[in-house]
């Protein structure tokens, strides 16, 4: 996915940056833009660094993408004393669901619908089933959501890094970083065993 997004974006960025270099240089030569040569060189070194980070598959895929995908589990290991991995968290949810469903089953065995106590047992069993289903669905959904969101954010990363080239699109890069941190913190909160 990362390589495909880089392949798609590279021609557009290359053509756009080339045209920007030509037009900007021409405007400086004409005197329409009053900029010293050092500022001009600084500006285009910055552009070169940003495009090389975003469009180099080896650098982004091996270093930046791995950092982002490993950030949730690495952060939870660093911040929590005994964090759960994705597999342990799912196993805990399965165990919790199994225990609660077994308990609800015992309540349903005591159910006699023409007796007040039997109706109470049935009502408690239904409440336990609904509460357990809700908790397990939310917990599993959070783990799946964080993993899918991080993978999507990594795949779209080159687009957001390229957004650093223009002042009006800087906010997209900042929001991308904020989303990565958001899903990292969400994973940390869901992997806390207490």
**Rounded Cα distance, 120 and 125, in Å:** 8
Average pLDDT, the chain: 84
pLDDT in tens, the chain (194 residues): 677 878 888 888 889 888 988 888 888 888 888 777 788 888 888 888 888 888 876 777 778 888 888 888 888 888 877 777 778 778 888 888 888 889 888 888 877 766 777 788 888 889 999 999 998 888 888 888 998 999 999 988 888 999 998 889 999 999 999 999 999 998 888 777 65
**Rounded Cα distance, 154 and 4, in Å:** 12
Residue 68: both structure tokens together = 């982002």
Please compute, for residue 10, the number of CA atoms within 13 A of its CA located in the half-sphere on the CB side: 11
* 111 close to 61: Cβ distance less than 8 angstroms: no
Query: Could you tell me the residue ranges of all domains in the chain?
Result: 2-190
How many other CB atoms sit within 10 Å of the CB of residue 141? 11
**Rounded Cα distance, 9 and 164, in Å:** 14
Residues in the chain: 194
- As to burial, measured by CB atoms within 10 angstroms (0-12 exposed, 13-18 middle, 19+ buried), residue 150 is buried
* 143 close to 133: Cβ distance less than 8 angstroms: no
pLDDT, tens digit, 9 for 90 and up, residues 133-151: 998 888 888 888 998 999 9
Give the closest residue to 68 by CA, choosing from 2, 153, 175.
153
Residue 173: both structure tokens together = 């890069």
DSSP 130-142: HHHHHHHHHHHHH
């Amino acid at each position: 996915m990362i390589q495909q997004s880089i392949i798609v974006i590279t021609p557009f960025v290359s053509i756009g940056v080339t045209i920007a270099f030509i037009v900007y240089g021409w405007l400086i030569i004409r005197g329409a833009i009053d900029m010293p040569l050092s500022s001009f060189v600084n500006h285009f070194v910055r552009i070169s660094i940003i495009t090389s980070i975003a469009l180099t598959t080896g650098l982004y895929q091996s270093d930046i993408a791995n950092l982002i995908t490993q950030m949730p589990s690495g952060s939870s290991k660093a911040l929590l004393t005994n964090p759960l991995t994705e597999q342990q968290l799912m196993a805990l949810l399965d165990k919790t669901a199994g225990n609660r469903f077994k308990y609800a089953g015992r309540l349903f065995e005591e159910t006699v619908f023409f007796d007040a106590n039997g109706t109470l047992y049935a009502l408690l069993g239904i409440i336990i089933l609904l509460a357990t289903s809700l908790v397990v669905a939310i917990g599993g959904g959070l783990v799946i959501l964080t993993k899918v969101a991080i993978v999507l954010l990594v795949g779209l990363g080159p687009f957001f890094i390229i957004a650093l080239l223009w002042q009006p699109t800087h906010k997209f890069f900042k929001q991308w970083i904020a989303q990565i941190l958001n899903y990292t913190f969400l994973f940390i909160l869901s992997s806390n065993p207490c």
